Amino acid sequence: MTKTMTCRSLGGPCDQQHTEATADEIIKAQDRHLRDAVKGGDVTHSEARDAMKGRWRHPKRAMDWYSGVKRDFAALPER
């Protein structure tokens, strides 16, 4: 009962897949992925990482993004 979303579908730059049971877990996995990529010196992920961090300073935008991810997740077929 898990679903898969890619880094790209979450606003990131690559096709790394996250397979989790809930949208919240997917968001956590993406957060980890962005952090690890940036720590590993991957500059293509720093913009998405900054956007992810900065999101919480913009509650309205954060909620819109969060609802969008939830909606996309709910619309996906289960695997």
Interface with Zn ion (CB under 5 A): 7, 12, 14, 16
Q: Round to whole Å and give the CA distance between 39 and 70.
A: 27
Q: Which residue, 63 or 69, is less far from Zn ion as judged by CB?
A: 69
* CB of 73 vs Zn ion, minimal distance in Å: 17
* CB of 28 vs Zn ion, minimal distance in Å: 14
Yes or no: say if 50 and 58 are a contact pair by the CB < 8 Å rule. Answer: no
Q: Which residue, 38 or 76, is less far from Zn ion as judged by CB?
A: 38
Q: Which residue, 7 or 23, is less far from Zn ion as judged by CB?
A: 7
Yes or no: say if 2 and 78 are a contact pair by the CB < 8 Å rule. Answer: yes
Q: Which residue's CB comes closest to Zn ion?
A: 7
Question: Which residue type does 49 have?
Answer: R
Residue 21 has φ and ψ, to the nearest 5°, of -85, -25
